[in-house]
Structure 1
């Protein structure tokens, strides 16, 4: 086998995202594999399925990377599910989490060991803990901001509970559990020792054994001890002490009774504050410092995932951490049970490029060992251990020298690209998870001509002119001050330390450096840069220079030299006197800043600004630019051309577990952009109708007009396509309530997660309940029901176009669970509701039977008459994926050719061709259906509008794969054309096989 074949990855043709949790297990997934295969899916795209926090609904809160989640089933269940995938020729792309682990709930053994052994724990280097933090009182300790109240209050309420189990002491706080350091057991074992003497004489063997244990405890090395021999001694002896204590209590009930009574006394008595002094004394000696959750803002000293205290970052840049966390996943790669990887939150890693390189190298080793099969085992027996692996890795390194960009295993990175940003070229990955395509597809459905009119409508309704860049800037600063102040303070002190080494910068104060750094980060135009050596890439240099320049202009009162110093550090412009050690410190500082800018952008932009700027919320999507009112067809084509050139195997998504709204919700909201006047009238009319239902809280009408604007768009977008049945209306109202509560808190304007205003929130939720109350006197609900039908119809047609664009564009189309039918989900957890797969299986079987019995043309006509049931979308996906699978090389390797559209309705169609080795497919996706009418079919709608066919495809007849109809090309003025009146005569979109 030549090196080209060795380096060739298995590329999916289409993926389907499954959300595993205790409600959807491995056995459930196995049952739907035949359905997914019949739908045309080549690979399951699995959410994380390693052991997570108990009850996890998403799997990102992993506690053990090397165990399957027992809540999902047994290893046998998993193997059976994977075998089923294999029988259907399907692969599995796994969502892998390398950046963090869950550190709350007591299920993470590594973290618990750290809590018991501090900086001398073998896992101390595993987690990203600052053992010498800014707050000196936390030296060699870890702040655990888990308490719901101040520490003293929680203690005296009896919420911190001491327990004794199997020879060990623990502290529990509700579901959280922390070990007590054995070195600090002595007070617990010697308190009231004279009382034990009443039960046991001093010469009794049990009494003597207890004293012996106390002596052994006193000789234990302390947890700050770093000497390897002493560390080993402590680990060995503390476990012996626990075993001795357990045996003593098991064999002698007076000792067990004595210790249990001490535990009761140490737990204190409510109403007697002094009674908690004993437990407070024990807690003060622990590695961890339990604290109110608000203290995390300023004093937390372990790196987190964003600002989530429960998710502690791990140091994946450390080789041992990489090896230990990837042991199981690489084993699954070797077994062929994982055929691709999606890497979560790549921007959180210290060095993403290095991580992806190591991952590709490791996956190459495992797949080659699997490929050698029995021969590898035989050679391993004959040759010294490691020789075979070393040979394979040497082969990989040699291949890498010849082809630096080889990617032998399918890996995609979760990377959010901002406007005009490209995926780092040195990442050995097959692309991103597809947020940029989702935004492009949505933007294409927005009528860009109406941007200014929509600005006016929005400004008039909320009585102000919002500026999105300014909102984003302010929200990023707000996040840094109130959610990530600890991280900013730490970096400020680090920067101050760097400034002290040079006489030209040592006069900069800590306060001015910290403020200037905050301003620079607030102006960062991208999530992060990727400096990992002493050479800064040109693109990163541009981003840094832009951010510093904007920060300077924003802060004319601050000394420009401070910003210049920060720019020098971030660009690694060393002074002549900068020593080698100082240069390494500068680089380390830069890499730590890079780990922070991403979370600041995510929390400030996605989770704050996107809930404040509500002009057209379909545009407020992960990786989106809401201030840009849609994109042109030319821009959409340009993005597809670039993707075909640079990352043709990236995922193409329209809905994910992270999207703010499902693809069908966004597609419907986009319809509003086609008629700003009608939307203005709706807003004014509905606001006037509902004004009496607003309450006044501290002089403010609730909800605010901006929140009201968001609410109406949310109701319009999420309203079901079919009438409510049973309790569906109540469920819908509950979903809208939950969404608005989350949206208001994320916006951080009138309430927030940190400082919830319960009175304001209750008033806003009462407004939601009232305006959706199904009573005769509710004029708003009656008006809404009259307004929605055309929006719903056009929204469904938008969704069909969007789906076709995804299937036919360069990349791998990805489908989020359940979205093969209409799905009007909102942000998580709304989009993690159970999926009715039985309904979908029955529908797909029914479509196949109907097509065989009546033919595709009759079926498509029926589907358009019953669009609300969603079968039309399922039909489109099934037919398009079948065609894609049958013509894999055409869609995977084919060139992308935008097609010219001529005629009266030319702006209403996006069309392109995929061409490869003489084969051609043409995708035709209409848009702006309010102008076309419903259904948008035939000559009455399309008149003289036609596609211009390139010379390579001229003279051919084309078959519409949806209807089976053949369409002949026309020759006009020596140019071959296809009339849209024929192409779209019976179905609103077309995929033509030439």
Structure 2
């Protein structure tokens, strides 16, 4: 086992796949070639949570996920298999949707400011008279009371000595001494340490910090030493007792002081391997002074995707998108930055209005038009956040852009700039926490669903305005990663990706045949459409990318995507008639449109498989620590969560790997076909070689490829291993294949680890090298 992983394999631990079942998978992960296992959050979460990011109790491992003993048994199994263990942790927030399951939150609701946990939550006592505002009611409070929807149970309980009140599934504690008011419900409600509010009030009237716009996730103040200690005692025990080797930190940008948090965490873990879920905008660098080994790899994903996108075709796809918007009567922003500004401003004005209003409340001086000006600066902020005193250049950029867009706010913006730049001021601290939330909700969760020209480009960590990379640009990015963050994670699929790696690989083919896609899209829309052109494009791309796909999965994606885009329907006010049209489209996909879909997918599937194998090999052998998301060693055609968290059949995969190894030993190689066995071959051979011979992966030297199809090859020497991949395979087919294209190699013989073939010293024709697969993994003779 290594102190820093050579690779990781992500497992989603749930009640349906608890730690004991995960323990049974460790032998398979080791056989595949994995070095560490990477687990989703394990602390006690809201009952039934499939993701675990809604932690309710930091003191224990979730019983539904296997509990403390389950973790111990899993750790023993992993050690027996020679695997390290990386565990996801959630320092920014806690789950509060079921208050009684969260002892800290329950205590605050019962005792208010007198609770020892009151300081753990980021509650603004200046709003609401010190009461926590709970947006859980389906109507105004007086109406709810008049209907009799609130009931009271004065029976004492261990955690509620004065009884409880209930509103449908919501159960809340009564404050001490208030049982006497049971006969007067309005008076009883007024006497509590919380204030029941209409659910729509969360956007503008909430008084506690939350995760993005999710009121069921309340932010906690880990910058306070006692809160850090209380929320990390169990986590640090895992490291101390050898139950884990490293940590993945969720959403550090939500913290008041991410750098300070990482310092305290490193001190507590003894400098254990630590990654952070941090999204970097193009050109943005991870703070070099942070005590972390790197990010979870979204920026690597963006680079890997774009080497397979045809830049010329993207322009044609953009023209299709513009026609669809015009046909639908939608105004088209002049550019991606304009669209981002529009959606971020909408989020700041609506979903996150509560957070903007809090910024106004903590200003040390009055500023006329402060709310409008703050929202504009947030909408213009170019990255997720700054880390004052570092990052003032981002604030200067945002201020200049805000003044350009809104000269009428120039005076207010100029007054705000020095306040937002002063790290000693609360408004500056909170602005940094808020800008990331506005970016995430405005870009990932809104603009990405409006910018529909090519689904590959609207992925977490990517900037759709940067559509494609040349091989030179790709190599430069890989060399920079090796130089700056050699132990940072790389990824292709995660629990947060909006489309799995294989869906994106297939959709990238559309950039090579935009005219053909326009024809097919027209055929599909003639069968069924929503009346909203861009959503039709998004929907039918999803159907093509994930085909074959069931009606219910496709409909779930369509509804989520349309609501996130918030143009034709939305989360707060769904348009039932529009969503019925989406349902008819989903029915048509497996009905009247099925033949069109099947025919087109058959036309492009092989090119998609080529992209998939190439991306996988480049990721698994490239700089950084490659992660394999559960199940993606075979074709995985998943869409946005929860679709990408579906159960994985590990028994079948273990059997397949065993039979694959036996067949390869007899010289029988799997074809590139629907079974995905070729992907398992590439994944297992790359992981095993990296684990067994890490010394072969310490350099990064681009290799020369000459000939008429040289632009279709990516080749690199990793220091003893040569990696070759195919890009833009449809275009390669159109020009007649590799023809005279040659990979320049030294006078060394090598073995293709994928096929077992011996490669003679010197240059090699790609038509020969890539005869069986679109990729090659050459181990130099030693």
CA distance in 2, matches of 1:41, 1:302: 42
CA distance in 2, matches of 1:753, 1:565: 36
CA distance in 2, matches of 1:458, 1:354: 44
1:171 aligns with 2:165: yes
Equivalent residue, structure 1, for 2:145: 155
- Residue pairs, 1:50-69, within 5 angstroms: 50-69=43-62
Deviations 1:58-89 (A, max 9, x none): 10000011111011224323211110111111
CA distance in 1, matches of 2:394, 2:751: 48
Q: Secondary structure of the equivalent of 1:499?
A: coil
* Change in 2 beyond 3 A, CA 1:465/1:74: closer
1:642 aligns with 2:480: yes
CA distance in 1, matches of 2:154, 2:432: 44
C-alpha deviation, 1:932, in angstroms: 2.9
Equivalent residue, structure 2, for 1:290: 196
Alignment TM-score, normalising by the size of structure 2: 0.96
CA distance in 1, matches of 2:180, 2:748: 90
Q: Secondary structure of the equivalent of 2:171?
A: strand
Deviations 1:7-64 (A, max 9, x none): x981111111111111001111011111011001111110001100011111000001
* Change in 2 beyond 3 A, CA 1:876/1:909: same
CA distance in 2, matches of 1:705, 1:828: 24
1:928 aligns with 2:728: yes
C-alpha deviation, 1:550, in angstroms: 0.6
C-alpha deviation, 1:561, in angstroms: 2.9
Equivalent residue, structure 1, for 2:551: 733
Within the candidate set 541, 546, 550, 1:718 is matched to 546
Q: Secondary structure of the equivalent of 2:130?
A: coil
C-alpha deviation, 1:773, in angstroms: 4.4
Within the candidate set 283, 288, 294, 1:431 is matched to 294
1:514 aligns with 2:514: no
* Change in 2 beyond 3 A, CA 1:478/1:564: same
C-alpha deviation, 1:841, in angstroms: 1.0
Once the two structures are overlaid, the 10-residue window that deviates more, 652-661 or 144-153, is: 144-153
Equivalent residue, structure 1, for 2:225: 319
CA distance in 1, matches of 2:615, 2:590: 33
Q: Is the 8 A contact 2:339 2:447 kept in 1?
A: yes
Equivalent residue, structure 1, for 2:758: 966
1:980 aligns with 2:770: no
1:523 aligns with 2:351: no
Equivalent residue, structure 1, for 2:356: 488
- Residue pairs, 1:589-600, within 5 angstroms: 589-600=427-438
Within the candidate set 128, 135, 143, 1:145 is matched to 135
Q: Secondary structure of the equivalent of 1:12?
A: coil
Q: Secondary structure of the equivalent of 1:753?
A: coil
CA distance in 2, matches of 1:788, 1:991: 28
CA distance in 1, matches of 2:67, 2:599: 52
Equivalent residue, structure 1, for 2:589: 772
Within the candidate set 490, 496, 499, 2:365 is matched to 499
1:122 aligns with 2:116: yes
C-alpha deviation, 1:177, in angstroms: 1.7
CA distance in 2, matches of 1:642, 1:968: 32
C-alpha deviation, 1:959, in angstroms: 1.1
CA distance in 1, matches of 2:96, 2:737: 60
Equivalent residue, structure 2, for 1:553: 404
Q: Is the 8 A contact 2:40 2:88 kept in 1?
A: yes
Q: Secondary structure of the equivalent of 2:119?
A: coil
Deviations 1:72-129 (A, max 9, x none): 2243232111101111111110000000001121200111111111112111111111
Q: Secondary structure of the equivalent of 2:242?
A: coil
C-alpha deviation, 1:711, in angstroms: 1.0
- Residue pairs, 1:380-391, within 5 angstroms: none
- Residue pairs, 1:581-596, within 5 angstroms: 584=424, 586=425, 588-596=426-434
Q: Is the 8 A contact 2:357 2:371 kept in 1?
A: yes
Equivalent residue, structure 1, for 2:644: 831
Q: Secondary structure of the equivalent of 1:428?
A: coil
Equivalent residue, structure 2, for 1:470: 338
More helix by share: 1
Equivalent residue, structure 2, for 1:794: 607
Within the candidate set 762, 772, 776, 2:580 is matched to 762
C-alpha deviation, 1:465, in angstroms: 4.6
- Residue pairs, 1:211-610, within 5 angstroms: 266=183, 278-364=184-270, 408-463=271-326, 465-466=332-333, 467-495=335-363, 498-500=364-366, 508-509=367-368, 512-531=369-388, 536-537=389-390, 540-558=391-409, 560-572=410-422, 584=424, 586=425, 588-610=426-448
Q: Is the 8 A contact 1:520 1:551 kept in 2?
A: yes
RMSD: 1.7
Equivalent residue, structure 2, for 1:381: none
Equivalent residue, structure 2, for 1:575: none
Deviations 1:692-744 (A, max 9, x none): x55xxxxxxx3401111111111110103xxxxxxxx6xx1111101110011
Within the candidate set 930, 933, 947, 2:743 is matched to 947
Equivalent residue, structure 2, for 1:814: 627
Deviations 1:617-661 (A, max 9, x none): 111001111122222211211111111011001111000000000
Equivalent residue, structure 2, for 1:989: 775
Q: Which runs of 5+ in 1 are unaligned?
A: 1-7, 189-265, 267-277, 365-407, 501-507, 573-582, 695-701, 721-728, 971-976
Alignment TM-score, normalising by the size of structure 1: 0.76
Q: Secondary structure of the equivalent of 2:229?
A: helix
CA distance in 1, matches of 2:533, 2:737: 39
Larger Rg: 1
Q: Is the 8 A contact 1:17 1:816 kept in 2?
A: yes
CA distance in 1, matches of 2:551, 2:107: 45
Q: Is the 8 A contact 1:461 1:684 kept in 2?
A: no
> Between Structure 1 and Structure 2, how many residues are aligned?
770
Deviations 1:175-202 (A, max 9, x none): 32211012212334xxxxxxxxxxxxxx
CA distance in 1, matches of 2:314, 2:598: 27
CA distance in 2, matches of 1:773, 1:715: 10
CA distance in 2, matches of 1:650, 1:812: 6
1:746 aligns with 2:564: yes
Q: Which runs of 5+ in 2 are unaligned?
A: none
Equivalent residue, structure 1, for 2:681: 875
Q: Is the 8 A contact 1:131 1:139 kept in 2?
A: yes
CA distance in 2, matches of 1:494, 1:114: 23
CA distance in 2, matches of 1:157, 1:836: 49
Q: Secondary structure of the equivalent of 1:677?
A: helix
Q: Secondary structure of the equivalent of 1:942?
A: coil
CA distance in 2, matches of 1:76, 1:99: 26
CA distance in 2, matches of 1:945, 1:713: 33
CA distance in 1, matches of 2:313, 2:761: 35
CA distance in 2, matches of 1:526, 1:607: 16
1:863 aligns with 2:701: no
Q: Is the 8 A contact 1:30 1:84 kept in 2?
A: yes
CA distance in 1, matches of 2:126, 2:361: 12
Deviations 1:822-867 (A, max 9, x none): 1111000111111111111110011011122x22xx31xx423xx1
CA distance in 2, matches of 1:839, 1:173: 46
Deviations 1:432-481 (A, max 9, x none): 00001111111111011223222222222332655322121111111111
Q: Secondary structure of the equivalent of 1:171?
A: strand
CA distance in 2, matches of 1:159, 1:47: 38
Within the candidate set 889, 908, 912, 2:716 is matched to 912
